[in-house]
Amino acid sequence: MKRIFIIVLALMTSHIIAPIVWAGPSEDLVAYQKYFKNKFPDLSAVDLSNGMYNFNQDKREQWEEIMSFPPYEIAIDNGKALFTTPFKNGKTYASCFKNGGVAIAHTYPRFDKKHGKVITLAAVLNECRVKNSEKPLQYLKGKLAAILAYMADTSRGKPISVNVPDDPAALAAYKDGKRIYFTRRGPRAFACYHCHWEAAGSRIRGNELSTAVGQATHFPTYRSKWGGMGTIQRRYKGCMKNIGAKPLKQQTEAMNNLEYFHTFLSNGIPMNAPGTRF
């Protein structure tokens, strides 16, 4: 009788405690992607990578017109030229990557066990330059964004595969990115999820809001507003400014952790970068 009582008590306790205990990134992913699947049952995972153009037919048509001659093509060509041009020491970027840097962009950002932190593809490119006695490039736009555009293009169609290994530091980085994502900031007390989860598909002024899942698939992207290419962290900074929060600095631990969590949300969705946005 005592045994039965203990078993029943254990079952009851596990039922109460289970929802409070954090299950882990893979369980998060299932729950988060399910939310968007339920909210937009007519949109496939691939559709989600088309962002705001899922929600406005007129803009969708304009975007498709633009895509017949994508403005990012120049960046891909420039990026390829930069990527393949040898440094002064004769080496190239390819020497710093597995597979010569081809078809790897969809696996970034990565957790670097050696340094115990998240590294972005942009940071690895600059590390590669420094390693080869070259000056680092400016983050967010310009030449670095062009190289990223070329590298992303070699991953086009491959599912985003950001890995969060079972490592305490990696899990901490993931959780930190998650914290930043769900933290209300700025005078309007907005968090990322306010616009891109519950308000996804609705409008803020003249713009339809894209879904959080799928966003990371099309970066770097050519934005008409920018008149050029920009990285995902450039977009984060713009978003943060929009909600009135002082943007986090690019390539800081916080910003990289945010990119880690945010890109992880799109795991399994084919890379569609570089992309074009208004």
Partner 1 sequence: MRNKISFITLLGIVLLFCPAIQAAESANDVLKETKALYKKAAKLQGAWVTTGKLIKKSEAALKKGSKAKALTLAKKARSEARMSIAQAEEQARKWAEPAYIER
Residue positions counted in the chain: 278
Q: Output the smallest distance, CB 272 to partner 1, in A.
A: 25
Task: Specify the amino acid at residue 21.
Answer: V
Asked whether position 186 contacts partner 1 by CB under 8 A, the answer is yes
Q: Closest separation between CB of residue 248 and partner 1, Å?
A: 6
- How many residues touch partner 1 under the rule CB under 8 A: the total is 27
Binders of partner 1 among residues 87 to 146 (CB under 8 A) are none
Cβ proximity to partner 1, 35 vs 226, nearer residue: 35
Round to the nearest angstrom and report the end-to-end CA distance of the chain. Answer: 69
Q: Which two tokens stand for residue 232?
A: 């995902």
CA dihedral sign, ordered 58, 60, 65, 71: positive
Q: What is the CB-side half-sphere exposure of residue 115 using CA atoms within 13 A?
A: 11
Q: Residue 92 is which amino acid?
A: T
Choosing from 2, 15, 16, 19, the residue that interacts with partner 1 (CB under 8 A) is 19
CB 214 within 8 A of CB 269: yes
CA dihedral 32, 34, 36, 41 (to 10 degrees): 180
Name residue 273's amino acid: A
22 to 61, contacts with partner 1 by CB under 8 A? 23, 27, 31-32, 34-35
- Smallest separation (angstroms) from partner 1 to the CB of 266: 17
Give the three-class secondary structure for 133: coil
CA dihedral (239, 26, 272, 219) positive or negative: positive
What is the closest distance, in whole angstroms, from the C-beta atom of residue 118 to partner 1 in the complex? 16
Instruction: Identify whether 96 is a catalytic site residue.
Output: no
Q: Residues 190 to 249: which contact partner 1 by CB under 8 A? A: 191, 193, 197-198, 241, 244-246, 248
Q: Based on CB atoms, which residue is closest to partner 1, 41 or 187?
A: 187
183 near partner 1 (CB under 8 A): yes
Per CB under 8 A, residues contacting partner 1 are 19, 23, 27, 31-32, 34-35, 178-180, 182-187, 189, 191, 193, 197-198, 241, 244-246, 248, 254
Tell me which residues are annotated as active site.
239
